[in-house]
Amino acid sequence: MISDTHANLTALEAVLSDISSKGLNQIVMLGDVAGKGPRPAEVLDRLRELEIPCLFGNWDELLIRSLLPNAAPEMPSMTEALEWQRGHLGPERLQWLQSLPYALDVPRRAGLVRLVHASSKGVWTRVRENDPLENFYGLFDKSPEVGLDAPTPLAVGYGDIHTTLLRHLRSFPEINPELRGRMVFNVGSVGNPLDCNLASYAVLHPSSQLEVSFVRVAYDVETECRAAVYSEMPQLEEYLEETRTGFYHPRG
Ligand SMILES: [Fe+2]
């Protein structure tokens, strides 16, 4: 499971190469294909070329607002960067982003795993590492996005926060006893990790008990930074700093 490539082709290629070297046979992508980085079209085309199933992310939603008649207004400070990304993607790729689903249910031997971008309630409901436990339990909520009659999964995996995590919901059954023993994990980010500057992905193992492992991949950060400088993209300094350090840099 990969997520949040954010138009960083150097990191994506390094992660794909690492996945290939391990003989892993199925890749899924949890959203935020583009936005932030210098090569949105190239990253999107690579994912499509490999026929990797992709989910819809919040940056994907920001990018396709140009296609929607009644879209919410975007922050003025973001307009130039979003228009730059849209211009590089072009209408056909934006339509492809618009077609992406919110959730993917993956049956495993151990049980059902639900994959979403940010939460089961849509791409803008964020569950951060230090949030109250209730928010982690909320990842199992039913919603129009995941299906109101969808089965309760054994685990929910997500992206969005660019930070890996794993929580077993076994210590606080008073919140929701039905979810005792379920698991929540975040796969981190390929192109814009914000816990360190190594690209991240996660692996679901084919064991009878649900087993998730996390992989960090060193890649050539300076090659990516040169591509960013060469592209003349807006918000360059923020991207360079995040890419080099793994610390979030606010925009606008
Ligand atoms: Fe993201």
If one counts the domains in the chain, the total is 1
Domain that holds residue 189: 9-245
Q: Examine residue 251 and state whether it is found in any structural domain, yes or no.
A: no
Asked if residue 214 is part of any domain, the answer here is yes
Instruction: Compute the distance between CA of residue 174 and CA of residue 21 in angstroms, rounded to an integer.
Output: 43
Scored b (16 or more CB within 10 A) or e, 148-161 reads: eebeebbbbbbbbb
Residue 144 lies in a domain: yes
Can you read off the two tokens belonging to residue 205? 């193992």
Residue 81, in any domain of the structure: yes
| Radius of gyration from C-alpha coordinates of the chain | 18
Residue 70 has a pLDDT of 82
Following DSSP, what letter does each residue of 113-144 receive, concatenated? EEEESS-TT-TT----TTS-HHHHHGGG---T
- Looking at residue 208, its pLDDT comes to 87
Low-confidence ranges of the chain (pLDDT < 70): 171-173, 252
Closest to 216 in 3D by CA, of 177, 241, 187, 236: 187
- Is 3 inside any structural domain? no
DSSP 243: H
Task: Please report whether residue 4 resides in a domain.
Answer: no
Cα-to-centroid distance, 159 and ligand 1 (Å): 7
The predicted-structure confidence for 49-108, as pLDDT tens digits, reads as follows 999 999 999 999 999 998 888 888 888 889 999 999 999 999 999 999 999 999 999 999
Q: What is this structure's pTM?
A: 0.96
Q: What spacing in Å lies between the alpha carbon of 239 and ligand 1's midpoint?
A: 13
178 CA → ligand 1 middle, Å: 30
104 phi, psi to nearest 5 deg: -140, 125
Say what the pLDDT of residue 171 is. Answer: 58
Q: How far is the CA of 180 from the centre of ligand 1 (A)?
A: 29
Look at residues 145, 153, 146, 190 and name the one whose alpha carbon lies nearest to residue 30.
190
Give domain status of residue 2, yes or no: no
Q: Which two tokens stand for residue 68?
A: 């929607």
CATH code, domain with 129: 3.60.21.10
What pLDDT is attached to residue 91?
A: 96
- In the numeric block, which tokens belong to residue 174? 């008073």
Could you tell me the distance, in angstroms and rounded to a whole number, from the CA of residue 162 to the centre of ligand 1? 6
What's the CA-to-centroid distance between 59 and ligand 1, angstroms?
6
* Interior angle at CA 78, CA 76 and CA 84, nearest 5: 120
